[in-house]
Amino acid sequence: MIDIKRLRENPAALAALIETKNVKVDFEAILELDARRRELIAEADQLKATRNTVSREIAELQKAKQDAGERIASMKTVSDRIKAIDGEIKELDTRQNELLLAIPNAPHPSAPVGRNELDNVVERDWGQKPEFAFAVRDHLELGSLHDIIDFPRGSKIAGSGFPLYKGLGARLERALINFMLDLHTAEHGYREIFPPFLASAESMTATGQLPKMAEDMYYAEKDELYLIPTAEVPITNIHRDEILDADDLPVCYCGYSACFRREAGSYGRDVRGFLRTHQFNKVELVKFVHPDHGYEELAKLLDNAEEVLRRLGLHYRVLRLCTGDLSFASATTYDIEVWSPAEQKYLECSSCSSFEDFQARRGAMRYKEKGGKAQPCHTLNGSGLATSRLIVALLECYQQEDGSILLPKALHPYMGGVTRIGG
């Protein structure tokens, strides 16, 4: 949520910054509500001061056994007005909050200005694209060849976009998840979380999924719970309505979850197999950090996510997202894209973002210095990593001419001695 103080100070500059996200904003209604609210607060404060003064006078008159009826009657009028003002302020707060919840986060000034993904900036790449002396098979062919991925039966069970892993495919998926969790907890300093896979509307609102993305999520209406689109939601909400000790920052969590998303993209080649699914698995990285160290911690988080691909020996690149491609809640985002030989393109497998204090204000996630006031912390998150596109890259990049698939050494301890699928 945008800081109302920042909005008051320079609404035109803030509007111009947000509009680089391709979103037209009008702060007039919010500022009118804010001005009226501040007027009422000032009036209420003055009336309360008067009430306190007169209450003392009434006590003195009563102590002196003098008539205080007139002052008591006047205070009844004052008290009624204060009650009416408090009710109006509450209504204004609700209306202002609703309007603020619909305003996206402002991009960081360093974010490249652009309209869409074509304006994203390649920051760097790692490794080399694999070369083959034979016609490469795509992940669907390889999955079918070895009977390790079964999309037709997954569709029979739940509809399109719900993969079914079998045999060594299921083992490989589990190996990836365990490998990533072990890496992030043992070497990168994250504390492991196993979160709920459903979340309340309040939790979804805190992280920015609601109200904007309600149509993209699965909703269990009877229970008023949403299936999570990412573990970012439950893990970030661990500290909703809490105050952290500044000395404990950064607080770093990682956790596995299944992720559920109704929006699976447009029809065509890009929705084949694992390229887009309604359900996928992901290990998420979440940090609560001091604002002074937010971008330093984001760089570390990004490197932690990249390390997964380096250990797996997969070629990838890092993109800095332009303003027009940033999410609703993000101030800065880096995407990590892994190479698919069959698709001959890069596939996103991680987004690492700073939300600055946007989520913290929505969810009252704060920190406190010794002797200071509670302040919103900064929140960061990133996929560390999502497995669906990772499976695509692993199967395709490590395929052999006979159709077998070598497994990278990092996964050998997690595969029970299996080093190759097929062959």
* C-alpha separations of 114 from 20, 101, 111 in Å: 7, 24, 9
Averaged pLDDT for residues 349-363: 98
Query: What pLDDT, in 10s, does the model give residues 169-214?
Result: 999 999 999 999 999 999 999 999 999 999 999 999 999 999 989 9
Query: What pLDDT, in 10s, does the model give residues 298-338?
Result: 999 999 999 999 999 999 999 999 999 999 999 999 999 99
pLDDT band at 270 (very low <50, low <70, confident <90, very high): low
Distance CA 373, CA 285 (A): 28
Catalytic annotation present for 276: yes
Distance CA 283, CA 309 (A): 13
Catalytic annotation present for 124: no
Beta bridge partners of 257: 282
Averaged pLDDT for residues 370-393: 96
Here the contacts of 246-251 (C-beta below 8 Å, separation 24 or greater) are: 246/290, 246/367, 246/368, 246/369, 246/370, 246/372, 247/370, 249/288, 249/289, 249/290, 249/293, 249/367, 249/377, 250/287, 250/288, 250/289, 250/290, 250/293, 250/297, 251/191, 251/287, 251/288, 251/289
Least confident stretch, 66-75, 141-150, 412-421: 66-75
| pLDDT (0 to 100) of residue 277 | 93
Burial class from Cβ neighbours inside 10 Å (0-12, 13-18, 19+) for residue 140 reads middle
List the alpha helices (DSSP H) in 114-150: 139-145
Burial class from Cβ neighbours inside 10 Å (0-12, 13-18, 19+) for residue 224 reads exposed
Beta bridge partners of 244: 367
Distance CA 148, CA 171 (A): 9
The contacts of residue 388 (CB under 8 Å, 6+ apart) are 163, 274, 277, 280, 281
Q: At residue 264, does pLDDT exceed 50? A: no
| pLDDT (0 to 100) of residue 418 | 97
- Joined together, the tokens standing for residue 125 give 């790449």
pLDDT band at 251 (very low <50, low <70, confident <90, very high): very high
Which position among 261, 361, 362, 366 bears the catalytic label?
261
Type and span of the H or E element at 24: none
Q: Which residue has the tokens 């999570």?
A: 228
| pLDDT (0 to 100) of residue 267 | 46
Of residues 303 and 68, the one with the higher pLDDT is 303
* C-alpha separations of 155 from 102, 214, 216, 397, 404 in Å: 35, 24, 19, 26, 26
List the alpha helices (DSSP H) in 187-257: 201-207, 232-236
Catalytic annotation present for 261: yes
| pLDDT (0 to 100) of residue 271 | 65
Averaged pLDDT for residues 32-44: 95
pLDDT band at 269 (very low <50, low <70, confident <90, very high): very low
Query: What pLDDT, in 10s, does the model give residues 211-246?
Result: 989 999 999 999 999 999 999 999 999 999 999 999
Distance CA 203, CA 195 (A): 13
Which position among 276, 311, 317, 320 bears the catalytic label?
276
DSSP state letters, 27-91 = -HHHHHHHHHHHHHHHHHHHHHHHHHHHHHHHHHHHHTT---HHHHHHHHHHHHHHHHHHHHHHH
Distance CA 349, CA 347 (A): 6
pLDDT band at 281 (very low <50, low <70, confident <90, very high): very high
Q: Are 195 and 185 in contact, with CB atoms under 8 Å apart?
A: no
Q: At residue 56, does pLDDT exceed 90? A: no
Which position among 71, 307, 348, 404 bears the catalytic label?
348
Antiparallel, parallel or unpaired: β 191-193 and 251-260: parallel
For the whole model, what pTM was predicted?
0.93
Query: What pLDDT, in 10s, does the model give residues 95-145?
Result: 999 999 999 999 999 999 999 999 999 999 999 999 999 999 999 999 999
Distance CA 314, CA 389 (A): 12
| pLDDT (0 to 100) of residue 266 | 43
Query: What pLDDT, in 10s, does the model give residues 9-29?
Result: 999 999 999 999 999 999 999
Which position among 257, 350, 351, 353 bears the catalytic label?
351
Catalytic annotation present for 351: yes
